[in-house]
């Protein structure tokens, strides 16, 4: 057990310190080199120390599966996406009975995804392609039959299912066993720990309690996990005595109720105050849960002891969600808050509503936003406006929509760009200090949990590209090492391995 961390340098150029630990807590902070009776020392050699990171919005099971599916992220047309799937099938990379691809972004494609196009790839084998935003599924005719989708519906006819229909089909894709899924989740958690992550809010659309209880029973302890509950499971959760903050097992606890009120930008279903160009069927997007249903649902969850997390992407959906929070007389979280009306920024702070945002989406979706939210992008992904209005923000990835790596989110929040492009609305950037505060839950202070990371670079002096590649030498959860760099001293390595 590590009793002291020696020669750790606080961010910002301060002199090195020693940190004393006991029972997972920080019990003392002293100038480096003062003799103490600590039994076990971990010498960081002057590396920088800071609180460990949280990803406030992930879908762990989907993220774990994502890396084992056909990657369509580079496709620039429907025809190119179909060609990638065909190549994967011919090479044997697609081994499951149902061929699954992920990550396509069709909003700017010159051609349309259709069932007929995927039928040219295979008439017999079901093909299911999940969009990058996970709100849309593109299928061939064999998949419609295999999953029993109503072939007479307009969406099924074109081979593109959106929102609830897409979620329902995606939920039925799990061909992996619990053993396989748990192993993949453990691997993803280990990778997260290597990036300095100590906790996640898992908003997977499943009955998460049993999944996480089983994983802990099998030895999972790499992350702190707060799992969400969806409306279809709310009654069962209340009946089981679950409420936000209730421990389930090990490092796992109950998180918020999650409600998806509208769609997404890439699928052109985010519910907006202004119409989308060339979208006559749903000109303002799609409102999945209207306020008359949202209010009693949130009230019931609140009475049952749940915190509230409401997915709202379009400015119309954000306005309606804030209206419901005002009627409830209590705060919560809005997940995404991608497009906010000018009149609503101050309401986040006034109502005590946290904006749970994913900055990398701004970088991924900037061109789509310019096309479909033309004239409004100055208030899209508007982190600076939220903070200046007094709102609290927390950062996440929405993995698998973006990688589960808070350094990527921090880089996007502070630079508003990647790959050398000019910054997207640089006036909406936040400072590195603000981004770090929105990515952590603790402090390096006496009495705080020993959830710590050690870095080879001071992030306060790093540019965007350096932040994306930030080298993490050590991750510690409650005083227990979950990742260490072999470059640490031999004595430290022996202590960690013990």
Residue 277: which of 370, 155, 154, 363 has the closest Cα?
A: 370
Six-digit token pair at 7? 């020669």
Q: Pairing between strand 252-260 and 393-395?
A: unpaired
> How many angstroms separate the CA atoms of 166 and 496, rounded?
45
Whole-prediction pTM value? 0.95
> How many angstroms separate the CA atoms of 151 and 137, rounded?
15
Residue 283: which of 316, 260, 312 has the closest Cα?
A: 316
Q: Residue 349 to residues 29, 179, 378: CA-CA distances in angstroms?
A: 34, 44, 20
Question: Can you tell me whether residue 253 is helix, strand or coil?
Answer: strand
Q: Report residue 9: phi and psi, to 5°.
A: -105, 120
Six-digit token pair at 155? 């969406």
At residue 356, the pLDDT reads: 98
Other CB atoms within 10 A of residue 240 CB: 12
At residue 38, the pLDDT reads: 54
> How many angstroms separate the CA atoms of 151 and 159, rounded?
9
Containing 254, the helix (H) or strand (E) segment is: strand 252-260
Question: Can you tell me whether residue 496 is helix, strand or coil?
Answer: helix
At residue 211, the pLDDT reads: 96
Six-digit token pair at 17? 């310190």
> How many angstroms separate the CA atoms of 360 and 406, rounded?
10
Other CB atoms within 10 A of residue 485 CB: 16
Contacts of 438 (CB under 8 A, 6+ apart): 393, 394, 395, 413, 430
At residue 96, the pLDDT reads: 80
Question: Can you tell me whether residue 247 is helix, strand or coil?
Answer: strand
Containing 226, the helix (H) or strand (E) segment is: strand 224-229
Q: Residue 447 to residues 86, 442, 443, 478: CA-CA distances in angstroms?
A: 57, 10, 9, 12
At residue 153, the pLDDT reads: 67
Six-digit token pair at 362? 């701004």
Q: Percent of the chain having pLDDT more than 90?
A: 88
Residue 55: which of 439, 467, 490 has the closest Cα?
A: 439
> How many angstroms separate the CA atoms of 54 and 356, rounded?
12
Partners of residue 356 on adjacent β-strands = 335, 394
> How many angstroms separate the CA atoms of 103 and 95, rounded?
19
At residue 237, the pLDDT reads: 97
pLDDT < 50: residue spans in the chain: 490-491, 493-498
Containing 212, the helix (H) or strand (E) segment is: helix 208-217
Partners of residue 275 on adjacent β-strands = none
């Amino acid at each position: 057990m590590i009793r002291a961390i020696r020669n750790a340098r606080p961010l910002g150029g301060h002199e090195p310190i020693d940190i004393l630990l006991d029972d997972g807590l920080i019990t003392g902070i002293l100038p480096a080199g003062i003799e103490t009776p600590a039994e076990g020392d971990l010498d960081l050699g002057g590396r920088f120390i800071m609180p460990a990171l949280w990803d406030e919005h992930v879908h762990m099971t989907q993220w774990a599966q994502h890396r084992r599916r056909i990657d369509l992220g580079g496709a620039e047309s429907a025809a190119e996406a179909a060609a990638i799937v065909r190549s994967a099938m011919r090479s044997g990379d697609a081994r499951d009975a149902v061929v699954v691809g992920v990550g396509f972004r069709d909003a700017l494609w010159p051609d349309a995804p259709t069932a007929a196009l995927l039928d040219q790839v295979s008439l017999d084998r079901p093909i299911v392609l999940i969009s990058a935003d996970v709100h849309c599924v593109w299928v061939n005719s064999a998949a419609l039959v295999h999953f029993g989708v109503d072939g007479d519906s307009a969406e099924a006819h074109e081979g593109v299912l959106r929102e609830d229909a897409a979620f329902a089909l995606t939920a039925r894709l799990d061909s992996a066993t619990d053993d396989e899924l748990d192993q993949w989740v453990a691997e993803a958690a280990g990778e997260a720990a290597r990036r300095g992550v100590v906790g996640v809010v898992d908003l997977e659309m499943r009955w998460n309690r049993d999944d996480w209880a089983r994983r802990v029973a099998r030895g999972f302890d790499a992350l702190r996990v707060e799992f969400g509950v969806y409306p279809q499971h709310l009654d069962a959760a209340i009946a089981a005595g679950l409420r936000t903050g209730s421990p389930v097992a090990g490092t796992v606890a109950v998180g918020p109720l999650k409600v998806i009120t509208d769609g997404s930008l890439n699928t052109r279903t985010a519910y907006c105050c202004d119409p989308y160009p060339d979208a006559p069927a749903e000109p303002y997007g799609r409102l999945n849960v209207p306020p008359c249903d949202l209010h009693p649902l949130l009230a019931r969850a609140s009475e049952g002891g749940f915190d509230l997390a409401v997915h709202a992407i379009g400015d119309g959906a954000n306005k309606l969600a804030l209206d419901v929070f005002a009627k409830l007389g209590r705060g919560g979280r809005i997940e995404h808050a991608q497009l906010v009306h000018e009149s609503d920024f101050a309401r986040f702070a006034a109502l005590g509503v946290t904006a749970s945002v994913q900055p990398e989406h701004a970088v991924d979706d900037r061109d789509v936003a310019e096309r479909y939210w033309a004239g409004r992008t100055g208030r899209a992904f508007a982190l600076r406006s939220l903070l200046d209005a007094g709102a609290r923000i927390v950062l996440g990835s929405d993995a698998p929509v973006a990688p589960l790596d808070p350094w990527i989110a921090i880089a996007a929040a502070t630079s508003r760009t990647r790959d050398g492009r000019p910054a997207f609305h640089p006036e909406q950037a936040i400072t590195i200090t603000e981004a770090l505060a929105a990515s952590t839950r603790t402090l390096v202070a006496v009495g705080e949990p020993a959830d710590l990371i050690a870095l080879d670079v001071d992030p306060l002096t790093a540019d965007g590209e350096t932040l994306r590649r930030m080298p993490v030498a050590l991750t510690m959860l409650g005083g227990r090492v979950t990742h260490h760099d072999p470059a640490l001293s031999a004595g430290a390595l022996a202590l960690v391995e013990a």
